Amino acid sequence: MPKYIFVIGGVMSGLGKGVTSASIAKLLQLTGLKVACAKVDPYLNVDAGTMNPIIHGEVFVTDDGGETDMDLGTYERFLEENLSRSHNITTGQVYKAVIESERRGDYLGRCVQIIPHVTDEIKNRIRGVARDSGGDVLLVEVGGTVGDIEGLPFLEALRQMRLEEGASNTVFVHVTLAPVLDSVGEQKTKPTQHSVQELRRIGIQPDLIVARCEKPLAPETKEKISLFTSVENRCVISNPDVEAIYQVPQILFEEGIVEPLCEKLQLGNRKVNWGNWRETTDAYTNRTGVVKIAMVGKYVALPDSYVSVNHALAHAGAKNGFKVEVDWVDAERFEKKPDSVNILDSYDGVLVPGGFGNRGSLGKIMTANHARINKIPYLGICFGFQMAIVSFARYVCGLKDANSTELDERTSNPVIDLLPEQKNVTDKGASMRLGGHDIAIVEGTLARRLYGSATIRERHRHRYEFNQDYRSLLEQHGIVFSGYSDSGRRTEMLEIPSLPFYFATQFHPEYVSRPTSPEPAYLGFVRAAIERRMSKNFPPDTGSSTLTVPRSKL
């Protein structure tokens, strides 16, 4: 019978509930248990695919083609395992299923209600994930914060699960904040007290409290939280700021979270076997150099829009002993002031990530061109791959009006065009080319050297692709297309062998990068950036890296 850990957030959003959840799961995994994670999101979207990444953060794509909440990426990176789309349950999916059942007549004669019909559907889905993952433990993180109206049916379902599964099979972890407001430095417990009261009002008493804090909780702070929340003192766990999120499992371990967790879930006396996780974590504290990357895009307002890209860069950097500093550059800036593209010269590498639509696209085309002319290492991802092709076709092959039909439907040189199967697609939800596809790599290419393999599997999220009518023209001018999928029909990678590192992929390599095994495209890119930095003898730089965890983010 699977055991459940329910993680519910309190006080405010942005506390790093996802990282806390993933870290708890990781610790249990390191004790030899089979652990899976699921996220419930109380919004009405069926999946995250239709949400703006500036508001909601990155859309994480699973191998089976799910467009999911970015926390699934955190789980995959920590657990180092692929999760399926069913591990992200939304209100939209739940209501859709209940309403479809109602229309089919499954509830004939009855009044369909939140309790029990919606809550039953939630419980069925959670149990289904536990069953399908075949694990010993399923950790379920609830999106949002206790007190949110839309989260109520989920919390009610979890309350019922405690009753039905029993206390030895369920644990409630409440993640809160212990802020320090005055110069005296006292850690405030009132927000945690109120948050627990709110939880209790709906019938949930937490078993453990994990409090986010700048510095570890003082013994008296723990005592106070314990007294006012009826949570045992040893179950009040500090979760202080750390340099790199991958250190959090270690912190929670030192705080002694494993013992009460295993005791409450009757999992026996379990020992954590760190394996190569420690080494991986140490790499983040032993970074000696800094490499600077310009990320040119549209969704620059919220770093979470490209969270997997940031992590993939950090994984590759740590492997080489370097911190990767990412500066977000607004592509539109270059359109307004073309000379400003020269700012890219001061970077060690330039990355154009995935994107959609016209706004900022010319700036990205200019970026791809500038990196090519000035031999700056370039990594293009999805839209960044497409814009590199448009730029090459325009500025090297002389097709002045070359474009993607996403940006100009009437272009006379559609070097990027709609995927054939997309021609009749009208629905926007879950209709792109999504998820993992096998890719064949051409022999004798940079791609082949990077991946060291003839086939790889990578994840996708796009509607447009390279139009192969232009293949020989571009090849004649020096581009090498180094990867294909769907028996050669889809072009997946390009490179320019005459340059130090000019590489782009139609797929999103960041989704499969893990701290212990950085993704090869990112590794190659970061290595090339380090080489450029060394050759230029740039002064050593210090400063925050993308994995330096800001207080509010963890």
Establish if 461 lies at the interface with ligand GLN (CB under 6 A). Answer: yes
* Complex with ligand GLN: residue 78 or 383, whichever CB lies closer: 383
Among 274, 328, 356, 538, binds ligand GLN (CB under 6 A): 356
The stretch near ligand GLN (CB under 6 A) out of 20-28, 327-335, 365-373, 456-464 is: 456-464
Q: Which residues of 335-348 are buried (b: 16+ CB within 10 A; e: fewer)?
A: beeeeebebbeebb
Neighbours of 255 (CB within 10 A): 18
Establish if 551 lies at the interface with ligand GLN (CB under 6 A). Answer: no
Is there a catalytic annotation at residue 382?
A: yes
Establish if 298 lies at the interface with ligand GLN (CB under 6 A). Answer: no
Distances (CA, A) of 329 to 32, 296, 332, 334, 367: 43, 5, 9, 9, 10
The stretch near ligand GLN (CB under 6 A) out of 8-16, 307-315, 354-362, 533-541 is: 354-362
Least distance (Å) between residue 109 CB and ligand GLN: 47
Establish if 422 lies at the interface with ligand GLN (CB under 6 A). Answer: no
The distance of Cα 211 from the centroid of its chain, to the nearest Å, equals 23
* Complex with ligand GLN: residue 35 or 512, whichever CB lies closer: 512
* Complex with ligand GLN: residue 16 or 354, whichever CB lies closer: 354
Among 354, 363, 435, 436, binds ligand GLN (CB under 6 A): 354
The Cα 270–Cα 267 span in angstroms is 7
Among 7, 11, 35, 382, binds ligand GLN (CB under 6 A): 382
Among 67, 71, 406, 417, binds ligand GLN (CB under 6 A): 406
- Residues with Cβ within 8 Å of 242's Cβ and at least 6 positions away in sequence, in order, are 248, 251, 549
The DSSP code for 421 is: G
Establish if 459 lies at the interface with ligand GLN (CB under 6 A). Answer: no
Q: What are phi and psi of 527, to 5 degrees?
A: -60, -45
Is there a catalytic annotation at residue 508?
A: yes
Q: Which of 76, 325, 510, 519 is catalytic?
A: 510
Q: Determine which helix (DSSP H) or strand (DSSP E) holds 414, and give its type and residue range.
A: strand 414-418
Place of tokens 């997997």: 308
The Cα 294–Cα 542 span in angstroms is 16
CA nearest 349: which of 310, 316, 379? Answer: 379
Least distance (Å) between residue 440 CB and ligand GLN: 21
Q: What residues between 154 and 213 interact with ligand GLN by CB under 6 A?
A: none
Establish if 462 lies at the interface with ligand GLN (CB under 6 A). Answer: yes
Establish if 383 lies at the interface with ligand GLN (CB under 6 A). Answer: yes
Q: What DSSP string runs through 372-411? A: HHTT--EEEETHHHHHHHHHHHHHTS--TT-EETTT-TT-
Establish whether the linkage from the previous residue to 497 is cis, with ω within 30° of 0.
no
Q: What residues between 498 and 527 interact with ligand GLN by CB under 6 A?
A: none
CA nearest 389: which of 402, 406, 378? Answer: 402
* Complex with ligand GLN: residue 156 or 406, whichever CB lies closer: 406
The Cα 246–Cα 280 span in angstroms is 8
Q: Which of 397, 458, 508, 519 is catalytic?
A: 508
Is there a catalytic annotation at residue 262?
A: no
The DSSP code for 85 is: G
* Complex with ligand GLN: residue 156 or 417, whichever CB lies closer: 417
Q: Which of 37, 262, 382, 397 is catalytic?
A: 382
* Complex with ligand GLN: residue 174 or 490, whichever CB lies closer: 490
Catalytic sites, residue numbers: 382, 508, 510
Give the residues lining the site for ligand GLN (CB under 6 A). 354-356, 382-383, 406, 461-464
